[in-house]
Amino acid sequence: LPIGAQHEAISLYGLYWRRLRFGPGYAAFVQEYAAREHWDTVQWQAWQRQQLQVVLTAAAQHAPYYHQTWNQAQQAAALAGQLTELPLLPKDPLRMAPQSFVRQDIHPRGVQVFHTSGSTGTPIAVYYTIPELRQSLALREVRSAGWAGTSFRRPRATFSGRMVEPDPASRGPFYRFNRAEKQVYFSAFHLRPDTAAAYVDALRKHRIEWLTGYAVSYFLLARLILDQGLSVPPLKAIITTSEKVTASMRQVMERAFGCRVYEEYSTVENAIFASECEQGRLHVSPDVAVVEILRPDGSACDPGEVGEVVVTSLARTYQPLIRFRLGDLAAWDTAPCPCGRAMPVIQEVVGRIEDVVIGPDGRQMVRFHGVFVNQPHIHEGQVIQEALDRIRLKVVTADGFSAADEADLIQRVQQRLGRTVQVVVEPVVSIPRSKAGKFRAVISYTSPAAVQEQIRSE
């Protein structure tokens, strides 16, 4: 489609989304999230206990995976609401058979399916009922946009994994505008020194008030803005998602964009939600999930002790996730927050910093493992940038992997980086973990030292 028609098509899609977002129940969800913020610990615990009972019972009785894999003692524990008696859930079973986690006792209309590459490069299909989706959007309105002093009703710009502009050689525009949601979708794949000014112009042209999406993309744009002395229109806030924001990244973004950065920690599964309050602390929303931080032996970490984040979703009950291993590491901070909210605080989220992939023309990209999304014959994948013009994809293949899958992968990489990039697809038995036991979805040996250093400086 020509660019103009693309803006139209996206606006139509936006209209559909606006109806999904603001449809029946939305205003009530917003009110409920806002009211619960003022609860004390006792109220939160009572609410969680009750909701946990509902979710665990539904999982044990109606979701085939739990019904089949939990033994009798575990089924009984679930019915009694005893979460810690239940086994941890790795990503694999969910990736292999997402349908087997879906409840069989209800058949809601209009179920929405989202795919995620996850922070481990393992794609997962996530099923939302319409009320669950609307609830998750209301949650973001209150505790993400609201805490940052803005709203999803105000114009915003987004950096995400969306392939906004498919032509790697495009001369612009590097975004599409969704009129219905007053939203600019930026391409994360065209950001480089000679395009930075066009990104800033789009903010001015569409009177954007706040920014949201990939932290590293905004950080990279911020560096270009400062390097080139570009003038940025007034903005209310940047709400980052996806990657950890280090102190130095935050400083660079706040200087370049002239507004405060608020970090959000969430996942496509809506299996955890934490957002930054006015006092700069990351509060977990207890009405989204029960969050545990565990040692390798499964016991709970002490405050300040880094451990594995394990979540049980309370907000999404159609495809219940029970003691789901997110693959992130974090620590609790038990000091009370001056904002007065009794919602628990996460001190730090570690292990989500990804490497930046660089194109031969200097463009910088994050979350490049998006090339593995919706690849049914790939069990696990890792992107390794060996040189500016050479990418190696290590893949653990599933049954049915063929030359067509390989060609598709090569095409996806070249679509992002250009045709001159050599792509090597290497089937492997397994992908080695880092010293800390973490899976690294993207490894780059070519990122400029400055970028690497600034991202890693903490």
Residues that bind Zn ion (CB under 5 A): 277, 279, 281, 337, 339
- The strand pair at 307-313 and 289-294 is best described as antiparallel
Beta strands (DSSP E) in 366-437 are 378-387, 390-397, 422-427
Per the structure block, which two tokens stand in for 205? 């042209």
- Nearer of residues 277 and 417 to Zn ion, judged by Cβ: 277
Cβ proximity to Zn ion, 262 vs 324, nearer residue = 262
- Residue 406, C-beta contacts closer than 8 angstroms, at least 6 positions apart: 425
Q: How far is CA 55 from CA 48, 63, 86, 318, 434, in A?
A: 10, 10, 13, 9, 35
CA–CA separation, 320 vs 66, rounded Å?
A: 9
Of residues 271 and 274, the one with the C-beta less far from Zn ion: 274
Half-sphere exposure in the Cβ direction for 107 (13 Å, CA)? 0
Q: Residue 147 CB, nearest distance to Zn ion (Å)?
A: 9
Least distance in angstroms from the C-beta of 275 to Zn ion: 10
Beta-strand runs (E) in 60-173: 112-116, 124-128, 156-159
Rounded least distance, CB 340 to Zn ion, Å: 7
**Phi (first) and psi of residue 69, to 5 degrees:** -100, -25
Min dist. Cβ of residue 280 to Zn ion (A): 8
What is residue 236's three-state secondary structure? coil
